[in-house]
Amino acid sequence: MAPSLAPTILQRRIAIAAALCVAAFALVGVRLVDVTLIKELPQRVVPVAEAPRSRPDIVDRNGQLLARDLPTKDVYARVKLLGDRARAARLIAQATGDNPVRIARLLDGRHPYILVARQLSPDALLRVMSLGLRGLEYQSSNKRIYPDGRAAAQVLGVTDPDDHGLSGIELGLDARMRAMPAGARVQLSLDMRVQYALAHELRLSKEKFSARAAGGIVMDVNTGEILAMASLPDFDPNLRDVGAQSGRNRMVQDRYELGSVFKIFSFALALQDRTTRLDEVFPIGDNLRVGRHIIHDAERMPAALAARDIFAQSSNIGTAQIALRSGAARQREFLASLGLLQAPDTELAETAAPLIPRNWGDLETATIGFGQGISVTPLAFVAAAAAIVNGGRRIQPTFLRHPADARGEQVISPQTSVAMRALMRYVVTDGTGKKADVPGYDVGGKTGSAQVPGPHGYVPHKLLTSFCGVFPIDNPHYLVFVMLDEPNGTKDTFGFALAGYTAAPLAGAVIARVAPILGLVPKTPVLADARKTP
């Protein structure tokens, strides 16, 4: 019997599979022809790391650049691909200027992928890339730069390598800056022309009087804008070398017993409540007993002084008597209304709260009257003093440009403010502030010479001297506060280190420089008409 020629089941399955393969290859062939001859192949999408978002620029009130992010690169290493790790560490350290021991520790092999260097400068990056080391990779990042270096360093602050604010404005406005759209900028109230002048004069006086530290503030008394703020010693934020002293903004972080500049508030309260007349005469003598404590004057005073001369000659004994008339409760209420019993609310995160006495009795009232027994930041003092001279309305200090009048609630009457301005002018013409006078600008002000407290009471012969100057005093626009920490007398000052010899001339030098910058034209004396015959 002849064999059957019909295909078996296995043969049919093989035939079907072969047909499917042919069809599949045919479809692939058609698709290849389609994409190569008829259409372009779609581009391959390669995921790319998103470039880090830049922080907004910071500029001063005139648009001068103060801080900006620059694009840079971070260097990473795949350790196993480097080969000779000791050699790689040495070469990378030479190219970046880093410590070779630190680099070698990073490349010890415990981590396969490590960050070697951050925010390289273009030159350093080129040197690293020129090494030709396998295993190095580069990632985009930003580096914050401060073109003016030390100028306003503590106000601006710094950022960390991840571009987060660490101090100053960079910290205080960190969340706000992160929410700002690309291309936006933060405009501060600072005027760098005024900033340079203030810092320069502070540096000169710090050196002249061998002071431990110095600081100053220039404020618009009607808007609350801080036009300049300096604290010495300072630092270069580009080096990120923020030491415990140089990085500290003494104007907002440190609290001081400011001494006799505080008498401004005691006299404003007395005039406001009419507990004292400026022509009223007070006994002075050698000392004043309050309970078991004795109050002295820094210098010998006459046996009696009128109230205006108590202020002008800066008598502690006379001021204590005036403060006691106001009483503890009223004194505390008044200082609170000026914002002196709480930390100033500003764009700087570091502002410190005051140190106030737990028991506020007669002795505390007397000593606070002349600036002892209460410690405040210079910024808090400046804001309160501005309210005394600007017509009597409380002011909110700000580091953002805000040129409109921003005076708030009335804390003293306009009449009291006028009287205080006249009294402060009297200090400069006839009192301890004569060396702060600047011809043509009618400066008013108050000196302050405070004893420096130590662990066992006040330290003998060590002072914190300050001057609060306002100009032009008949229509105040600006307030200048300067401070010298532990200045020493010189031959020119006959060995005296009191504020009248140290801080007052410093304030005068600052005012003389910044007044023309701020557009204030000096007054000129009225000359007799030469055409008229006598």
Q: What are the pLDDT digits (tens) for 81-102?
A: 998 999 999 999 999 999 999 9
pTM: 0.86
Helix 316-326 to helix 362-369 angle, to the nearest 10 degrees? 130
- The token pair that represents 309 in the structure block: 């001369």
At position 452, the amino acid (one-letter code) is: V
Residue 402 burial (CB < 10 Å; 0-12/13-18/19+)? middle
**Is the sign of the CA dihedral 11, 14, 16, 19 positive or negative?**
negative
**In the predicted model, what is the mean pLDDT of residues 188-205?**
98
Q: From the CA atom positions of the chain, what is the Rg in Å?
A: 35
Contacts of 521 (CB under 8 A, 6+ apart): none
Residue written as token pair 């007799």: 528
Predicted confidence at residue 244, as pLDDT, reads 54
Which residue range forms the structural domain that includes residue 168?
A: 57-122+138-187
pLDDT of 369 reads 97
For residues 365 and 499, membership in a common domain is answered with yes
Say if residue 525's pLDDT is above 70.
Answer: no
What span, in angstroms and rounded, lies between the C-alpha atoms of 33 and 30? 5
Shared domain for 222 and 369, answered yes or no, is yes
**Is the per-residue pLDDT at 5 higher than 90?**
no
Residue with tokens 């108590």: 310
31 within some domain = no
In a domain, 531, yes or no: no
**490 CB-side CA count, 13 A:** 11
Selecting among 141, 189, 260, 375, the annotated active-site residue is 260
Distance CA 394, CA 408 (A): 5
**CB neighbour list of residue 492: distance below 8 Å, 6 or more residues apart:** none
The residue that leads in pLDDT, 1 or 175, is 175
**34 lies in some domain:** no
- pLDDT band of residue 51 (cuts 50, 70, 90) is low
Assess whether 421 and 443 both reside in one domain.
yes
Residues 111 and 219 in one domain: no
User: What CATH number has the domain bearing residue 355?
Assistant: 3.40.710.10
Residue-wise pLDDT tens digits, 146-169? 999 999 999 999 999 889 999 999
In this predicted structure, what is the pLDDT of residue 457? 84
Q: Whole-angstrom Cα distance, residue 48 to residue 249?
A: 42
In a domain, 23, yes or no: no
Query: Residue 246: pLDDT band by 50, 70, 90 thresholds?
Result: confident
pLDDT band for position 456 (cuts 50, 70, 90) = confident
Tell me: pLDDT of 526 over 90.
no
Query: Any idea what the CATH number is for the domain that residue 112 is in?
Result: 3.90.1310.10
Let me know if 461 is exposed, middle or buried by CB neighbors in 10 A (0-12, 13-18, 19+).
Answer: exposed
How much is the pLDDT for 53? 78
Q: What percent of the chain has pLDDT over 90?
A: 80
pLDDT at res. 269: 98
For 469, residues 6+ apart whose C-beta sits below 8 A from its C-beta are 433, 436, 443, 444, 445, 479, 480, 481, 482, 507, 508, 510, 511
1 pLDDT band (50/70/90 cuts)?
A: very low
Q: What pLDDT shows up at residue 532?
A: 45
Residue 118 lies in a domain: yes
Query: Is 157 inside any structural domain?
Result: yes
The C-alpha atoms of residue 518 and residue 522 are separated, in whole angstroms, by: 11
- All residues at 6 or more sequence positions from 422 whose CB lies less than 8 Å from its CB, including other chains: 444, 473
CB 188 within 8 A of CB 400: yes
Return d(Cα 511, Cα 513) in angstroms, integer.
Answer: 5
Q: How far apart are CA 96 and CA 164, in angstroms?
A: 23
Is residue 453 within a helix (H) or strand (E), and if so which, with residue range? strand 444-454
Q: pLDDT class for 42, splitting at 50, 70, 90?
A: very low
Task: Specify whether 415 is located in the same domain as 336.
Answer: yes
Q: How far apart are CA 111 and CA 474, in angstroms?
A: 70
The average confidence (pLDDT) of the chain is: 89
| 264 and 159, same domain (yes or no) | no
* The length of the chain, given as a count of residues: 534
Are 231 and 146 found together in one domain? Answer: no
Task: Give residue 50's pLDDT.
Answer: 54
Q: Which phi and psi angles does 108 have, rounded to 5°?
A: -75, -5
CB 112 within 8 A of CB 144: no
Q: Are residues 337 and 486 in the same domain?
A: yes
pLDDT band at 145 (very low <50, low <70, confident <90, very high): very high
Mean pLDDT for 328-355 is 97
Decide if pLDDT at 44 tops 50. no
| pLDDT higher at 56 or 48 | 56
Distance, CA of 31 to CA of 26 (rounded, Å): 9
Task: Give the full edge-to-edge strand order of the sheet including 457-471.
Answer: 226-232, 213-220, 478-485, 457-471, 444-454
Strands (E), 101-148: 113-120, 136-145
- pLDDT digit string, tens, across residues 209-219: 999 999 999 99
Residue where one domain finishes, among candidates 187, 208, 225:
187
232 lies in some domain: yes
Q: What is the pLDDT of residue 110?
A: 83
- How many distinct structural domains can be found in the chain? 2
**25 or 198: whose pLDDT is higher?**
198
Beta bridge partners of 217: 229, 481
Partners of 216 in the beta sheet? 230, 482
- Select from 341, 206, 323, 219 the least CA-distant residue to 271: 323
- Contact in structure between 468 and 479 (CB atoms under 8 Å): yes
| Strand pairing report for 281-283 and 304-306 | antiparallel
Distance CA 191, CA 226 (A): 9
Residue 340 confidence (pLDDT): 98
Q: Report the pLDDT value the prediction gives residue 363, as an integer from 0 to 100.
A: 97
Is 260 catalytic? The answer is yes
Query: Do 507 and 515 contact (CB within 8 A), yes or no?
Result: no
The pLDDT score that the predictor gives to residue 530 is: 39
Who contacts 510 (Cβ-Cβ below 8 Å, separation ≥6)? 197, 198, 201, 216, 218, 469, 480, 482
> What per-residue confidence (pLDDT) applies to 529?
44
Q: What is the residue whose two structure tokens read 């880090």?
A: 52
Q: What is the pLDDT of residue 46?
A: 33
255/400 same-domain check: yes
Q: Are residues 222 and 164 in the same domain?
A: no
Q: How many CA atoms lie within 13 A of 486 on its CB side?
A: 12
pLDDT classification of 48: cutoffs 50, 70, 90: very low
Confidence of residue 464 (pLDDT cuts 50, 70, 90): very high
Contacts of 392 (CB under 8 A, 6+ apart): 410, 411, 412, 413, 414, 416, 417
Domain identity same for 397 and 484: yes
**Are residue 152 and residue 275 in the same domain, yes or no?**
no
With respect to residue 176, please indicate whether it lies within any of the assigned structural domains.
yes
* pLDDT (mean) for 427-451: 97
Phi and psi at 468, nearest 5°, equal: -110, 110
CA separation for the pair 277, 267 (Å, rounded): 10
User: What is the C-alpha to C-alpha distance for residues 143 and 165, in angstroms, rounded to an integer?
Assistant: 12
Using an 8 Å Cβ cutoff, are 212 and 256 in contact? no
Q: What percent of the chain has pLDDT over 70?
A: 87
Last residue of a domain, one of 170, 187, 204: 187
Mean of the pLDDT values across residues 55-76? 96
